[in-house]
Amino acid sequence: MVVVLGAYLLAFGAAWVVIVVSPPSWHPLLAAFVADVVATLVVFALSMAFDNASLYDPYWSVAPPVVAAWWVAVAGSGDTVRQVLVVGLISVWAVRLTGNWAYGWTGLHKVDWRYDQLRVTRGRVPWWVVNLGGIQLMPTVVVYIGLLSVWPALAGSRPFGLLDVVATLVTAGAIALEAVADLQLHRFAAAAANRGRILATGVWRRTRHPNYLGEIALWWGLWLFGLAAAPSWWWTGVGPLAMVVLFKTASIPLMDRRSLERRSGYADHMREVPALLPRLRGPHRQLTAPNATEHH
């Protein structure tokens, strides 16, 4: 953990240098993006030095509150209530999600199985290219696109209103869903009696990937804040749309494919339980194949 903390201190130190030396003509969106990429490059370099691409994993949740806090500092305007809510909700989400990562982090010997798979199946593409482009830069860019709506949410001049209330409920509900899903998963996996079974109770009874559903909903909630503050920035909806594409085309298929290969009965589970949007009724029976765990 000391290595991880040191890596992120170096990364955000480099990002701060970018902010300090950036030309005054740069919009905060541009300055934040360049700093974000530079911080990612530092984490990438260290992940190569320690031969562990998972060093990047917490970046997904660590970077957004830092960016949001800086945007508040330079916004120069904006509704205070909305600013407090947006930064507060992003911070709660970040602390919880980073804590969930730390809970499962056992040291530099641990690497996400998906990265090992990419390393084996990359063909003639150099590993550093796969690591930099597919594992680190791509998520950084997707998260930054998701954050685009946070700028108008923090700098927009429209007063706090009904749409902000809806945004608060959606964002807070998304955080709660992710927290409940992870808690239920940890408790289920910790019980020896559950070995050989699929988690199909609680929120996992309604959707195969409730934590992914919560993650997507969070970014839509932040977009609603941006829409409430500055409707002309409606186009930042490209951010949550990018999240939907990422989870639907990459994360969920990878998780389901792995479970199908390793767990008998998972095909029945897929037929009974939808991937994201929940059904009103859960599965008719308790499935008995091993549980498929999730990872952000």
pLDDT of residue 61: 93
Between these two residues, 10 and 114, which has the higher pLDDT value? 10
Q: Would 177 be classed as within a structural domain?
A: yes
Share above pLDDT 90 across residues of the chain, in percent, rounded to a whole number: 62
Q: Would 73 be classed as within a structural domain?
A: yes
Between these two residues, 36 and 294, which has the higher pLDDT value? 36
Between these two residues, 72 and 102, which has the higher pLDDT value? 72
Q: Would 289 be classed as within a structural domain?
A: no
Work out the average pLDDT over 253-280.
Answer: 83
| Residue 250, domain extent | 2-272
Q: What is the 3-state secondary structure (H, E, C) of 186-236?
A: HHHHHCHHHCCCCCCCHHHHCCCCHHHHHHHHHHHHHHHHHHHHCHHHHHH
Q: Would 294 be classed as within a structural domain?
A: no
- pLDDT at residue 261 above 90? no
Asked if residues 233 and 226 have their Cβ atoms less than 8 Å apart, the reply is: yes
148 class by beta-carbon count within 10 Å (0-12 exposed, 13-18 middle, 19+ buried): buried
Instruction: Render pLDDT for 222-241 as a digit per residue (tens, 0 to 9).
Output: 999 999 999 999 999 999 99
Angle (CA) 135-139-144 rounded to 5° is: 155
Which tokens go with 130? 């796969």
Q: Would 129 be classed as within a structural domain?
A: yes
Work out the average pLDDT over 132-137.
Answer: 91
153 class by beta-carbon count within 10 Å (0-12 exposed, 13-18 middle, 19+ buried): buried
Asked if residues 42 and 11 have their Cβ atoms less than 8 Å apart, the reply is: yes
Confidence class of residue 289 from pLDDT cuts 50, 70 and 90? Answer: very low
Alpha-carbon distance 30 to 148, whole Å? 11
Contacts of 270 (CB under 8 A, 6+ apart): 208, 256, 260
Asked if residues 200 and 282 have their Cβ atoms less than 8 Å apart, the reply is: yes
Q: Would 291 be classed as within a structural domain?
A: no
Instruction: Render pLDDT for 78-123 as a digit per residue (tens, 0 to 9).
Output: 899 999 999 999 999 999 999 988 888 888 888 877 888 888 887 8
Confidence class of residue 11 from pLDDT cuts 50, 70 and 90? Answer: very high
Q: Would 244 be classed as within a structural domain?
A: yes
Q: Would 71 be classed as within a structural domain?
A: yes
pLDDT of residue 280: 66
| Cα within 13 Å of Cα(194), Cβ side | 16
- pLDDT at residue 50 above 80? yes
pTM of the full structure: 0.88
- pLDDT at residue 279 above 90? no
Q: Which residue has the tokens 């298929």?
A: 253
Q: Which residue has the tokens 């706090």?
A: 160
Instruction: Render pLDDT for 201-211 as a digit per residue (tens, 0 to 9).
Output: 889 888 999 99
What is the count of structural domains for the chain?
1
- pLDDT at residue 14 above 60? yes
